[in-house]
Amino acid sequence: MTPNTHEHRELQHGGMPTCRDVIEFLMAYVDDELSPAQRAAFEQHLAVCPSCVNYLNGYRSTISMAKAAAPTVDQGELPQSLVAAVRAARRNS
C-alpha cells in the first residue's frame, strides 16, 4: 500500500491511467487543466471504474460543501464594543 504523496509527478501520456493517477490529478481534471489527450485518457478510465467515479463525485461535493461552509455575514458596521476595544488598544500601544 502506498499513500498519495508525490509532490510534482507528471501525468504520463499514453495508456490508461491508474486509479492512483486519476485521483492524484483529480484537481487538474476538475479545473479543466489537463491536455485533451490526458482528459480523454481520464475519461476512458472513469468509464470503466465506478470507484473512481464515486471518488470524483465525493470530491466535487466536498469542494461545494467547503465553499458553502462559510457563514454568510453582512458587511455591516463594526459593533461599538469592538470599535471601543480598538480605540483603547491603540491608545495603550
Phi first, then psi, for residue 63 (nearest 5°) are -60, -45
Is residue 34 a contact point for another protein (CB under 8 A)?
no
Which residue from 55, 11, 53, 60 is spatially nearest to 36, judged by alpha carbons? 11
Q: Is residue 14 a contact residue for another protein (CB under 8 A)?
A: no
Residue 49 has, within 13 A of its CA and on its CB side, a CA count of: 20
- The answer to whether residue 36 forms part of the interface with another protein (CB under 8 A) is no
In the complex, the residues that contact another protein under the rule CB under 8 A are 1-5, 7-8, 18-21, 23, 26-27, 50-52, 54-55, 57-59, 61-71, 73-79, 82-83, 85-87, 89-90, 93
